[in-house]
Structure 1
Amino acid sequence: MEATLEKSIELKLTAVQRLRTEIGKVIVGQQEVVDQLLICLLARGHALLEGVPGLGKTLLVKTLADGTELAFKRVQFTPDLMPGDILGTEILEEDHSTGKRFFKFQRGPIFTNILLADEINRTPPKTQAALLESMQETAVTVAGETMDLPKPYFVLATQNPIEQAGTYPLPEAQLDRFLLNIHIDYPQEAEEIAILRATTGSDGEQAQPCLDPTQLQEMQRLVRDIHISDDLYHYVARLVRATRPGAGGNSQLEAWIKWGAGPRAGQALLLAAKARAFLRRRLAVTRADIRALLLPVLRHRVLLSFHAQAEGVGMEQVLQELQKACPEPGRD
């Protein structure tokens, strides 16, 4: 069984490496960010990308889509965007042969494989909520009829963390449906020079399709077969439960956290860890996989208290304390 799984992983990773190469033609550096996006694809999860303007969030998602044969749609979220602009609307049409009128549903951009929700926090909650059913059920309900979306289906959303005037913060229920919250930071100096060279010349590279939906879905099934030990199941449960007020055992966490993560956080952490192990040609999840993904999985699921904000305590410091409160398996 393990030999068969290992052989299957090796075969499928060839396509992933080609996809990395294609993305690298356009995106300079940002290897960890690219890794986390690939983890979302392999774990069937959605991603929320945060970063200041000009760091290439939109370009990264478009390049990822270009490197696959998945259908891609982009929606620019604005204050006047309505749910029908995303889901679609019913249009009154006339049959010219009979003269009869009837309603025909015109599908919106949500009917795709990859939906880029650009600046998702710039639209009101009513429109943001239009994505909730699609993110959870891979389906939408319009005029009482439920319609399945194409599979695989991903929402890759972007938002600017600094310009908050005129924005509508995402509700906790929607944040929880993003597998990872991916932060994009400024590039290193050498990377920035490479970006300037690549983007100010006459010729520009473009990623070529190298991964089809069938291949991706086969990889997603393989990811589910990656092994996790009982110790790590218990460890992840302890980590998630320790974020909840009233869990006891750590007064510092109690003071810093106003609202903790739910069971979906543990599911996200385990699935993302499986995908990371897959990308590294391993048949089992390790403690390193859990450590690497703890921040992007929990930072949008844990609400810090006023006390923590007043002291300037960030999620990184909270998670360091969390790891102290929950020692890794095999360590004292």
Structure 2
Amino acid sequence: MAEFAAVFRDVVTNVEKVIRGKRDVVELATVCLFAEGHLLVEDVPGLGKTSLARSLAASVNAGCQRIQFTPDLLPADITGTMVYNQRTQEFGFRAGPVFTNIVIGDEINRASPKTQSALLEVMEEGRVTSDGTSYPVPQPFMVVATQNPIDMDGTYSLPEAQLDRFLMRLRMGYPSLDAELEILEGRQVGRAVDDLQPVIRAEDVVARSAQTLAVHVAPNLRRYLVQLVAASRTIPDIVRLGASPRGSIALLRAVQVRAAAHGRVFATPDDAKAVAGAVLAHRLVLSPEAELRRVVAEDVVDEILQSVPSPRRLLGI
């Protein structure tokens, strides 16, 4: 896995040319890329959500389309529609911007629920169905969406079914003083996302992702992952709806990729603890009482990690 780890570092280093002082966030976003999952970046305005999405896309020599979500956006504006061809006198499918490798959905929660639901099929199955015919999207396929949780005027909350399709949700957070100074220095010399050069090809992303499937996850570590997810469903008065089996699968894939990123052919409990917050928190539906007490889903995941004992010995490695 040393070769995979080197490629992983190249992508992280490339993104960090623009996103300064957020190595943990950048590494998790890169884990999401190689785990063939979708990424939701959520935080207040001005913290680099869109820049992270664009930098990740710029690091891959692949197709990329950006969709600015607005209240008047229609599902056909995303997936495509049937168009009548006067020359052939037949209807044909005109593909929408979702038919690319990396889709950047900016301010995804500003679109109506009907428009948001247009992404459900393609995010889960990698295809779009129109007029009874299914059209596969290119591989790799990744949706990187951003949303602002503060300004709720003119926004629509993402439904649980769609949130569950995102492998990770990340929060940027404010940069440190030194990191913010580096941002200003980079702007002064003209360093921007448009200056980034790709460090990996689209077909290489698919091949490298397949390599991570060979990372060994011991039986008791797999049980530990399932126990973490199951624990999220049994917290009375705090969690109304816990993570689904899709969360277990997402956690497993993220653990394998993180282990490979560190050059290992086996996963450890530390891999699970490092990605659990990003993978599980957005899948939890908190009770109204917990929301009134301002309980944060990430804190609930931290409590689960402390309450579920991790395996002391990994057998079968």
Query: Which residue in the other structure is 2:210 paired with?
Result: 221
**1:86 aligns to what?**
78
Question: Displacement of 1:203 after TM fit?
Answer: 5.9
Structure 2 match to 1:4: none
Give the conservation status (yes or no) of the 8 Å contact 2:5–2:261. yes
User: What one-letter code is carried by the residue in structure 2 that aligns with 1:179?
Assistant: L
- Change in CA separation of 1:85 and 1:226 when aligned onto 2, cut-off 3 Å: same
Letter in 1 for 2:223: H
Q: Secondary structure at the match of 2:129?
A: strand
Q: How does 1:188-267 map to 2 (within 5 A)?
A: 188-202=176-190, 204=192, 206-245=195-234, 253-267=235-249
Distance 1:23 1:325 in 2: 35
2: CA distance between counterparts of 1:21 and 1:328?
Answer: 32
Aligned to 1:318: 300
The partner residue of 1:38 within 30, 46, 55 is 30
Matched, 1:27 2:19: yes
- The alpha carbon displacement at 1:321 in A equals 2.7
Percent same amino acid among aligned pairs? 40
Q: Does the aligned pair in 2 maintain the 1:78–1:122 contact within 8 Å?
A: yes
Name the SS of the counterpart of 1:299 in structure 2. helix
- Would you say how many aligned residue pairs link Structure 1 and Structure 2? 312
Q: Is the 8 A contact 2:11 2:30 kept in 1?
A: no
Give 3-state SS (helix, strand or coil) of 1:255's partner. coil
Equivalent residues of 2:78, 2:98 under 8 A apart: yes
Alignment-derived partner of residue 73 in structure 1: 65
Where does structure 1 differ by over 6 angstroms across 4 or more consecutive aligned residues?
none
Q: Distance in 1 between matches of 2:170 and 2:190?
A: 32
Contact 1:112 1:149 in 2 (8 A): yes
**Residue in structure 1 matching 2:252, options 258, 262, 270:** 270
Task: Tell me: CA distance 1:233–1:49, structure 2 relative to 1, closer, same or farther (3 Å).
Answer: same
Match of 2:7 among 4, 9, 15: 15
Give a deviation string over 1:25-84, Cα, whole Å, max 9, x none: 222121111111111111110010011111111111111111111100000000000000
Q: Give 1:121-132 correspondences, 5 Å limit.
A: 121-132=109-120
Q: For 1:160 and 1:179, how far apart are their aligned partners in 2?
A: 18
Q: State the SS of the aligned residue for 2:60.
A: coil
Residue 138 in 1 paired to residue 126 in 2? yes
Distance in 1 between the 2:243 and 2:290 partners? 17
Instruction: Measure, in 2, the Cα distance between the counterparts of 1:237 and 1:81.
Output: 39
TM-score (norm 1): 0.90
Structure 1 residues 17 and 316 mapped into 2: Cα distance closer, same or farther (>3 Å)? closer
Aligned partner letter, 1:183: R
Moved more, 309-318 or 294-303: 309-318
Give unmatched runs, 5+ long, in structure 1: 1-8, 246-252
Distance 2:190 2:262 in 1: 37
Larger Rg over CA atoms: 1
Cα distance change on mapping 1:204 and 1:125 into 2, 3 Å = closer
Q: Is the 8 A contact 2:247 2:280 kept in 1?
A: yes
Distance 1:103 1:75 in 2: 25
Change in Cα spacing, 1:273 to 1:307, as seen in structure 2 (3 Å) is: same
* Counterpart Cα distance in 2 of 1:235 and 1:16: 26
Q: Secondary structure of the residue that 2:273 maps to in structure 1?
A: helix
**Aligned with 1:147 (options 106, 117, 135):** 135
For the residue of structure 2 that corresponds to 1:26, the secondary structure is coil
CA spacing shift, 1:104–1:233, aligned 2, 3 Å: same
Query: If the length of structure 2 is used for normalisation, what is the TM-score?
Result: 0.94
Q: Indicate whether 1:300 and 2:304 are aligned.
A: no
Given that 2:164 and 2:246 are in contact with CA atoms closer than 8 Å, whether structure 1 keeps it comes out as: yes
1:88/1:108 contact within 8 Å kept: yes
- Aligned partner of residue 41 in structure 2, secondary structure: strand
The alpha-carbon deviation at position 239 of structure 1 amounts to 1.4
